[in-house]
């Protein structure tokens, strides 16, 4: 509870433009019950510019997560 897991995907369209998607997943307690529910949400759909090396991707992902306000929960 209170933490977020991520999935990511990077792909290119037919014009060779690259995109990054980040989906967040977390467990939420259903209000008024003791039940838990898995939640998921697309938090980022981003057009990538430049290279795709690990350093560039790490910097980009951290900036996007900071902008979403969830870096401390990951």
Q: Where are the domains of the chain?
A: 5-73
pTM over 0.85? The answer is: no
- Mean residue pLDDT of the chain comes to 89
Q: What is the DSSP string of the chain?
A: ----EEEEEEEE-TT--EEEEEEEEEEEEPTTSS-EEEEEEEEEEEEE-S---HHHHHHHHHHHHHHHT-GGG-
**pLDDT exceeds cutoff 70 at 66:** yes
Q: Is 65 exposed, middle or buried (0-12, 13-18, 19+ CB in 10 A)?
A: buried
pLDDT tens across 33-62, in order? 889 999 999 999 999 987 778 888 999 999
Give the percent of the chain with pLDDT over 70.
99
- CB-based contacts of 37, cutoff 8 Å, min separation 6: 27, 28, 29, 30
């Amino acid at each position: 509870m209170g933490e977020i897991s991520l999935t990511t995907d990077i792909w290119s369209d037919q014009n060779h433009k690259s995109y990054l998607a980040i989906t967040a997943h977390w467990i939420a307690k259903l209000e008024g019950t003791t039940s838990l529910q898995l939640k998921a949400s697309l938090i980022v759909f981003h057009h990538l510019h430049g290279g795709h090396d690990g350093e560039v991707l790490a910097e980009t992902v951290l900036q996007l997560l900071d902008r979403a306000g969830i870096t401390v929960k990951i």
